[in-house]
């Protein structure tokens, strides 16, 4: 559902109104707001059976005869504003059936991918990671995005794995319960951090099953790497980063663990990402003239973030290339992301180091660097 944020509506007179969207932005959508960047409203949770009617306290205001006047400023016209309470809705349409407390809280979902051609391995990994994230039970640690559990305030669960067992009732298999991806960041030459993911394997067959856990990269470890499960038995497999990763060159690496049911020729894949930082020596300068980010840079962000070394956008301060940070959806200011370019410098033997850089403002929203420790205007390049 779309709509403006509660408490932001201003009557401008003459049937003209102004309202802000969720998250403090000046625009909003009549049918949807921000995708996974906005949690479900109380009314939506009630309609899903996840919240009692008494907990929906904000009135529902409906703009009749709605027309946009200035979309990106949240300004619109309406012939009338109709205010309704939950009592009004229930009196007109009846209470939800089944009611809160009797309604289901655990849901199943399926993702169907339609494409004009075969997807690459990277595309499948990206899709699998998105599905895994959305169905995660618990916080993802990102305050700007909401998986299903977070969007429902922990009231609902969305399960999107185990599809074959649902579509083919009675078919037995060796299942992998957890869906999360192992993500590890480390510095070149240092021992890997003690990060790991534990996966639970369960044998639903009526007979013992032999399984293996095969890793796709030398820097990845699955322990134990195989075994035999008795009927109905479970075991845990610890997936972590190998000590040999310390000798791996800086860069971004993708790997996977394939949990194979040898007895039944089935397999389930889980993924791992390794980000190894490097350090640049002082004195330091980088004009990005190699056409790509050097290993001492690490790109990351939230939302639809994008960081690329480009020779096509605007005019570089010097040379032919520049580092561009934006939102890949664009949309004329309708979509927002945070981009982070992290630089690793070897400061051994140095103090009071000052980093100077040129920035070009290509219509950026006013969310620039804070006054400290930055010195000078955040848009010092015209």
User: Which tens digits make up the pLDDT trace of 287-317?
Assistant: 999 888 888 888 777 766 788 888 766 678 8
Tell me which of 224, 244, 277 is where a domain ends.
277
Same domain, residue pair 113 and 69? no
User: What is the C-alpha to C-alpha distance for residues 364 and 367, in angstroms, rounded to an integer?
Assistant: 8
Tokens describing residue 228: 């035999």
The band of 372, judged by pLDDT with boundaries at 50, 70 and 90, is low
Q: Bigger pLDDT: 298 or 200?
A: 200
Are 381 and 283 in the same domain? yes
Q: What are the tokens at 218? A: 């030398």
In this structure, of 136-140, 231-235, 276-280, 310-314, the range with the lowest mean pLDDT score is: 310-314
pTM of the predicted model as reported, rounded to 2 decimal places:
0.48
* Together in a domain, 188 and 273: yes
- Indicate whether 165 belongs to any domain: no
Say whether the peptide bond before residue 373 is cis (omega within 30 degrees of 0).
Answer: yes
Residue 211 CB: number of other CB atoms within 10 A?
A: 25
Closest listed residue to residue 180, CA positions, set 168, 157, 196: 196
Q: Span 232-257, mean pLDDT?
A: 89
Q: Please give the residue that has the higher pLDDT: either 162 or 152.
A: 152
Domain membership flag for residue 166 = no
What's the chain's average pLDDT? Answer: 83
Q: Are residues 151 and 179 in the same domain?
A: no
Q: Residue 41 corresponds to which tokens in the numbers above?
A: 């409203």
Question: Which pLDDT does position 379 carry in this prediction?
Answer: 41
Same domain, residue pair 288 and 271 = no
Are residues 237 and 313 part of one domain? no
pLDDT of amino acid 369: 55
- The total domain count for the chain is 4
- Same domain for 116 and 57: no
Together in a domain, 190 and 200: yes
Residue-wise pLDDT tens digits, 124-156: 778 888 888 888 877 877 777 889 988 998 888
Q: How far apart are the first and last CA of the chain?
A: 41
**Which domain, by its residues, includes 36?**
10-93
Statement to judge: residues 251 and 208 lie in one domain:
yes
Q: Are residues 191 and 139 in the same domain?
A: no
Q: Are residues 290 and 382 in the same domain?
A: yes
Same domain, 202 and 256: yes
Per the domain annotation, does 213 fall within a domain? Answer: yes
């Amino acid at each position: 559902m779309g709509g403006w944020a509660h408490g932001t509506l201003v009557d401008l007179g003459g049937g003209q109104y102004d309202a802000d969207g969720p998250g403090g932005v000046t625009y909003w959508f009549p049918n949807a707001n921000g995708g996974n960047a906005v949690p479900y409203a109380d009314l939506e949770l009630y309609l899903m059976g996840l919240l009692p009617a008494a907990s929906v306290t904000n009135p529902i205001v409906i703009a009749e005869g709605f027309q946009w006047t200035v979309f990106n400023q949240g300004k619109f016209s309406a012939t009338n504003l109709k205010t309704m309470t939950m009592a009004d809705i229930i009196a007109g349409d009846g209470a939800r059936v089944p009611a809160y407390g009797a309604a289901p809280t655990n849901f199943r979902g399926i993702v169907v991918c339609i494409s004009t051609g075969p997807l690459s391995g990277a595309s499948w990994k990206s899709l699998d990671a998105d599905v895994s994230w959305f169905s995660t039970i618990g916080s993802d640690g990102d305050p700007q995005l909401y998986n299903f559990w977070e969007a429902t305030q922990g009231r609902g669960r969305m399960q999107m794995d185990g599809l074959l067992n649902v579509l083919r009732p009675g078919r037995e298999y060796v299942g992998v319960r957890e869906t999360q991806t192992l993500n590890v960041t480390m510095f070149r030459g240092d021992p890997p951090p003690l990060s790991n993911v534990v996966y639970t394997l369960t044998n639903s067959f009526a007979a013992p099953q032999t399984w293996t856990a095969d890793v796709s990269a030398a820097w990845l470890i699955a322990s134990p790497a195989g075994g035999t499960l008795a009927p109905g038995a479970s075991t845990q497999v610890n997936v972590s980063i190998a000590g040999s990763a310390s000798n791996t060159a800086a860069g971004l690496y993708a790997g996977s663990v394939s949990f194979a049911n040898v007895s039944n020729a089935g397999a389930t894949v889980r993924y791992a990402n390794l980000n190894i930082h490097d350090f640049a020596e002082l004195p330091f300068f980088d004009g990005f003239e190699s056409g790509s980010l050097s290993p001492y840079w690490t790109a990351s962000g939230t939302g639809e973030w994008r960081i690329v070394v480009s020779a096509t956008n605007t005019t570089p301060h010097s040379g032919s290339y520049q580092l561009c940070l934006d939102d890949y959806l664009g949309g004329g200011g309708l979509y927002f992301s945070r981009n982070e370019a992290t630089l690793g410098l070897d400061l051994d033997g140095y103090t009071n180091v000052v980093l100077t850089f040129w920035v070009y403002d290509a219509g950026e929203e006013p969310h620039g660097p804070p006054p400290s420790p930055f010195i000078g205007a955040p848009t010092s390049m015209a």
